[in-house]
Amino acid sequence: MTTAPLDPAGPTVPMPDKTPAALRIAVAQLDPSAVAAFDQQWNDAIRQARDEYTLTPPRAFVEHWWSWVGIARFPERLARFRECQRIVSESDDRAARRAAAAELAALLAQTEAAAG
């Protein structure tokens, strides 16, 4: 497997600010069915932060959804990302799983570099 360059067609939405509110708007534009998961995870992160007196859960939440938006705003990249996830979770071929996992990491690194 090779790592594909960033989608030449460009993003479907601009990269939002790195805030829960801005990310929620982007998630709603990219995949309205994902908003429920976004909201549930945000509520869980806030509850955990309150219970444990730490900002780590909300920060992790923002980082997770920041990466999700970075991938999802490019349809070809999202399709490849999902295919690699499928390979990692379902394949019996250890080499294929490792290659797919490496490609997932590379796609996330490309996305982070491009998003700034």
Predicted confidence (pLDDT) at residue 2 exceeds the cutoff of 50? no
Token digits of residue 7 = 């989608």
Q: What are the tens digits of pLDDT across the range 26-39?
A: 999 999 999 999 99
CB-CB contact of 38 with 24 (8 Å):
yes
Q: What are the tens digits of pLDDT across the range 37-79?
A: 999 999 999 999 999 999 999 999 999 999 999 999 999 999 9
Token digits of residue 79 = 């399709």
Mean pLDDT of the chain: 92
Q: Please, where are the H alpha helices in 31-93?
A: 35-52, 56-72, 75-90
Domain map (residue ranges) of the chain: 18-73, 75-116
Q: What percent of the chain has pLDDT over 70?
A: 92
- Angstrom CA distances, 65 to 7, 104, 112, stand at 20, 16, 12
